[in-house]
Amino acid sequence: MELFQISQTELASELGTTFRTINEIVNEKRNISPEMALKLSRYFSTDIELWLHLQNKFDVYKIYLKKQEAINKIKPMKRRGEIKSH
């Protein structure tokens, strides 16, 4: 928030949401919903895809950290020969 020189309270007001919602997003207790992504993209003049992509990447990162051991045990599929048509 410091980068944009706006407080969480100000951002909440500008987006028509609550301080609690913004605070939970900032503190990683709430995801950025598609609706919030629309609001953020409008306010910051960005594409909605930016916010959805950032949320998706963060979700994958959290899952990987939590399940890293199990994921690393999975062996990549070996490539098979080309399938020949009859």
**Quick check: 22 and 15 in contact, CB under 8 A?**
yes
Average model confidence (pLDDT) across the chain: 92
Question: What does the pLDDT look like over 6-35, one tens digit per residue?
Answer: 999 999 999 999 999 999 999 999 999 999
Question: What does the pLDDT look like over 49-58, one tens digit per residue?
Answer: 999 999 999 9
Reply yes or no on whether the pLDDT at 4 is more than 90. no
Output the CA–CA distances (angstroms, integers) from residue 73 to 7, 35, 59, 63, 64, in the order listed. 44, 37, 21, 15, 13
pLDDT at residue 84, as a whole number: 66
Torsion angle of C-alpha atoms 11, 17, 21, 22, degrees rounded to 10: -10
Alpha-carbon Rg for the chain in angstroms? 20
- Tell me what the mean pLDDT of segment 44-70 comes to: 96
Domains and CATH numbers, the chain: 2-73 (1.10.260.40)
Rounded CA gap, 39 and 43, in Å?
6
